[in-house]
Chain A
Amino acid sequence: MPKKLEKVDAVIVGSGWAGGITAAELTKKGHQVVILERGQSQKQQDYIGSKDELRYSLRYDLMQDLNKETITSRNDLDETALPVRNNDNARLGNDTGGAGVHWNGISFRWLPYDFEIYSKTVERYGKDKIPEGSTMQDWGITYDELEPYYDQYEKTAGISGEENPIGPPRSNKYPNPPLKSTPSIDLFKKATSNLGYHPYHLPSANVSQQYENPDGETINGCMYCAFCEEFGCDFGAKADPMVTVLKTAEKTGNLELRNHANVTRVSHDGNRASGLVYTDTNTGEEFEQPADIVVLAGFVFTNTRLLLLSEIGKPYNPETGQGIIGKNFTGHFTNISTYIGARGFFEDKKFNLFMGAGALGATIDDFSGDNQDHTDLNYLHGYEVHYSQLGKRPMANNHVPKGTPNWGETFKKNSLHYTNRNLFITPQTGFLPNKNSYMDLDPTYKDALGNPLLRVTCKYAEQDRERARAGVARCEEIMKEMGADIVDVDDVADDADFDHKFYTDHFFGGAIMGADPDTSAVNTYSQMWEMENLFVVGGSSFPHNSNYNPTETIGAFAYRAAEGMNTYLKQGGGLLTQGKEAQKNA
């Protein structure tokens, strides 16, 4: 029997953005909060002098240790899934601050279309446009209802941005001006303008100047040192949970962040959650942390797996379409999004590509979501095309033109010659859910504690390949306009399918939100329909994947969830009432 600890107001799994925001908002209202974080303690000081490509980019020092726990993966329902065994294939956040520490900081808002995707698609094109096998649905909320929470997140993180000329309405300007520009970014902007598109700087959580957020936390100005992705920031100049919301929560005196606490179950009686059961990974001892409200704020895989292991909600069954937990697995996948595109090689121009920042770049929204007319296109949703100068580090930057050797003397010569002469632009594509892409528990493989691993089944639909091809073709067009001497374009093969690479860290679904308990696990406050004092916060609640980086939308929904929790604690229970527009659409 686990040792029972003293009850608190709220217990949270995970200390990333979702857990950190929730903890900050609850503790500010005087609630006692415990965060259970299975990884080790991290502080900003851990990242001072950490500009080490091998350790962080090639050995994945900040990522989940798969030795203890991983996921399994397959394409089809009749296949045996295999475990994802190394970090080259699964780059998942870990330790205090979670994936919020090692991110690049690209901070988009999603589109009004995203939140009402089913209704708006039917409205514009008719019901026949919904692809067979698609499980796309409205989220139960509108952009306008979510906007104040976007605004709140942007202020907390000090987002530095330039107004998107064709973006959705905003109640306020970005709290900080955009990052600087560079010759290669200027070139991208000029080329896309020439083509009639609408470029703007990527909105960035690498903050453009020293900034104090509304909670009184200071984020420093970016040094453009080129060590963002996979790294913690040397200077505290990238908004992450440690320099913002976790600090805010700690200042209240109402937070206890417990590291090495690996949660294995939600304890409950079928109607109410009573706490979280976890193993202290230092001692092997098992504890139960009771609380009035229980918050799952881990990564998609953690949240979904905990619900399945705890037998909360009905598991999704792809054969019947019944059940909800595990449904609508989506993501950005490296062979159809974000890592494919067009690479241009320039003979006469050397760029300072070793300088940069994770979110330093520009994008166009002309093909995002439903911004272009899909009447004659054989796919729905779209792509944003961006160029970013995130700083090319030497082990990973050895690109040579296609058809030339990739080792030996010619390779050495070419890879050195083109080091600062190659630019890459990529389409980040949306991904719509389908009935055969979902998550459940693996029948064979187990974690270090003997619990079944989560199994991912993912299958591309034809429209996912078509969307990617359209995006790549757009990259080619732009790269040619940029004047590259050689333009190499990636191919999306007819048989391209999910290649079991969980590399982007952008994955969604498993406990999706909506306005109707029959087709969603949580409401738009991330509150479980079936268990009102259990909140499941984060990318797990997204019914599909847009063509944008997700962190800001996760942050916005975490603020909304936290507001719901405070209301819930104040009113002493009950399901939270959703917005008027959402009810109208339900």
Chain B
Amino acid sequence: MTDDYSNNNHTDEASDPGRRRFIKNTGMIAGGVVGGSLLGGLLTNQFTDTEDDVKTESSKDKETNFQEARQFFTRMEDFAVLQAATERLFPENDDGPGAIKLGVPYYIDKQLAGLWGINGQDYRHAPFNPQAQIDIKNPEYQASQIPLNRGTVFLHGLRKLNEESQKQFNSTFDKADNDQQETILSKAEEGNITMSGMTSSNFFFLLRQATLEGAYCDPLYGGNRNMEGWKMKEFPGAQASYANVIDKDEFVTMEPVSLKSYQGD
């Protein structure tokens, strides 16, 4: 029952000089947050920014996405850092939308407001031992030995990114340019931002995981808006059967199916 080698155990490609080179050689769009005007024809107006929502709410309130409000984050500034950081991890490019357009920040907000954010399924009894066995090459194990829950890890981590950005670049993280954001995120990833009760790599590990979750989860969770993540990935979602095509040699492209339509309610 274990032959799923997929859980990203191999996270050893962490640091890479090639990435920085890549960034230098390409003119990435400036600004961490992609505004509504860049959405183009990909999405319907239910996903445009607040200004448009206000206009459309009265006339087209069926299409207003009431689920996109903050449950967990209280400070807009924290959420702005989350938006910028997730977009940097998973940016919009010619393949398709990035984290923000896919709804990743709201997805993470919802997750942190629930069972996952409070480590509801985890063993949470003292004594904790955050420093223990720090050399064990198993980030999930090491990260789990700290007394903070995931919600607090995110809050501390995002605020640290902001602090670090102010210190290094005299700008909040969300206003820093792409290269600057990358520099800070790399520093966090490598564990080189000093944090209390945890390492910055603990935070980065969760941030990366949650960003990919938000890009590719079923849209019921608030990420993968309009199944755009799945479309980019050529993943057809909840298909009933591949029995008639599994042995085919040619690549099969299918329209994705969400759980909402699969479950038929």
Contact = CB atoms under 8 A, between A and B. Distances in A.
A408 B88 contact: yes
A406 B13 contact: yes
Residue in A53, A60, A351, A388 with the greatest tally of chain B CB atoms within 10 Å:
A53
A88 interface: yes
A338 B5 contact: yes
B22 A410 contact: yes
Residue in A183, A343, A444 with the greatest tally of chain B CB atoms within 10 Å:
A183
Contacts of B120: 67
Contacts of B119: 85-86
Contacts of A283: none
A423 B12 CA distance: 18
Nearest to B223: A54
Interface in B1-24: 1-14, 16, 18-19, 22-23
Contact of A83 (B3, B125, B235): B125
A89 to B, nearest CB: 5
B3 A106 contact: yes
Contacts of A86: 119, 121-123, 140, 144
Contacts of B8: 396, 398
Nearest to B127: A444
A196 to B, nearest CB: 24
Nearest to A388: B3
Given A390-B4, A392-B6, A500 B136 contact: yes
Interface of B (DSSP majority class): loop
A59 interface: yes
B249 A339 contact: no
Given A67-B123, A409-B26, A416-B95, 13 more contacts: A60-B121, A84-B141, A84-B144, A85-B124, A180-B247, A181-B247, A183-B248, A223-B240, A338-B2, A355-B246, A393-B235, A397-B6, A424-B5
Nearest to A400: B13
B245 interface: yes
A400 B11 CA distance: 10
Interface stretch (B53-61, B159-167, B168-176, B212-220): B212-220
A341 interface: yes
A335 B230 CA distance: 30
B213 A54 contact: yes
A30 B7 CA distance: 45
A408 B234 contact: no
A104 B144 contact: no
Contacts of B140: 86, 88-89, 501
Interface in B122-157: 122-125, 127, 129, 132-133, 136-138, 140-141, 144-145
Interface in A341-391: 341, 343, 350-352, 354-356, 358, 360-361, 386, 388, 390
